[in-house]
Amino acid sequence: MSPKPKTSKLKACVSPRHKGMLKILMH
């Protein structure tokens, strides 16, 4: 989750509900 390249892959494979969590973490 720290590396940026991994974030891109996560965003592509993340659920709508997880997206909200990621947004809070990357706020």
Counting every residue, how long is the chain? 27
Quote the pLDDT of residue 6.
64
Quote the pLDDT of residue 23.
78
Quote the pLDDT of residue 18.
72
Q: 1-27 pLDDT, tens per residue?
A: 555 666 666 665 566 777 777 777 766
Helix (H) or strand (E) holding 22: helix 16-25
Residue 1 corresponds to which tokens in the numbers above? 């989750």
Q: Are 25 and 1 in contact (CB under 8 A)?
A: yes
Return d(Cα 15, Cα 23) in angstroms, integer: 12
Residue 4 corresponds to which tokens in the numbers above? 């940026």
Q: Is the pTM of this model over 0.75?
A: no
Q: Where are the domains of the chain?
A: 1-27
Cα distance between the two ends of the chain: 13
Quote the pLDDT of residue 10.
61
